[in-house]
Amino acid sequence: MKLPAVLAAVVLLSLAFSGSCLAEPFLISDPYPAKGPQPTKFVVAVDGKSTTSAPHRNADGSVVLKYDLGDLSDGTHTIVIKALNDAQALESGEIAYTFNKAGSRISGLKVKEEKQKMAPSRSLGGYVKP
């Protein structure tokens, strides 16, 4: 399975309330399995300002994006995520989210997925996935 399809299928916005020494909320992806393509970094753009985030490695060898949203000001924000894999030169499509933040609460989540063009086949001339 290609990394772009994995990112589109597994990136979810969820809140994780961890120990008291860490801020909250977090943006966390579903895990990329240890026995599959894994990103070596994530590019996270919040309201147009890009930063690079290293994957968090779980005990089972899987990796996830764990990005702290605690420092964001209250209000409406847009976040765009892209997974990169330098070793295999793979890059995902971008996934964009818009949400409202008030303290440690996230609401009004809207996901905008990039449409993917499917390769043409002999019987079907290709199509754009809705």
Report how many domains make up the chain.
1
Residue 25 near residue 72, CB atoms below 8 Å: no
Domain membership of residue 92 as a residue range: 3-113
Averages of pLDDT over each 10 residues, the chain, 130 residues: 41 36 76 89 93 94 93 94 78 83 89 58 48
> What is the per-residue pLDDT for 89?
61
DSSP secondary structure string for all residues of 46-76: ETTEEEEEPPEEPTTS-EE-EEE-TTSPSEE
Q: What would you report as the CA-atom Rg of the chain, rounded to the nearest whole angstrom?
A: 16
* Residue 119 domain-assigned (yes or no): no
* Residue 129 domain-assigned (yes or no): no
| Spatial CA neighbour of 98 closest among 24, 55, 45, 54 | 45
Residue/partner pairs of 9-12 with CB below 8 Å, 24 or more apart: 11/65, 11/81, 11/83, 11/95
| Spatial CA neighbour of 43 closest among 91, 8, 114 | 91
Single pTM value for the model = 0.67
Place of tokens 């399995």: 33
User: How many residues appear in the chain?
Assistant: 130
* Residue 121 domain-assigned (yes or no): no
* Residue 67 domain-assigned (yes or no): yes
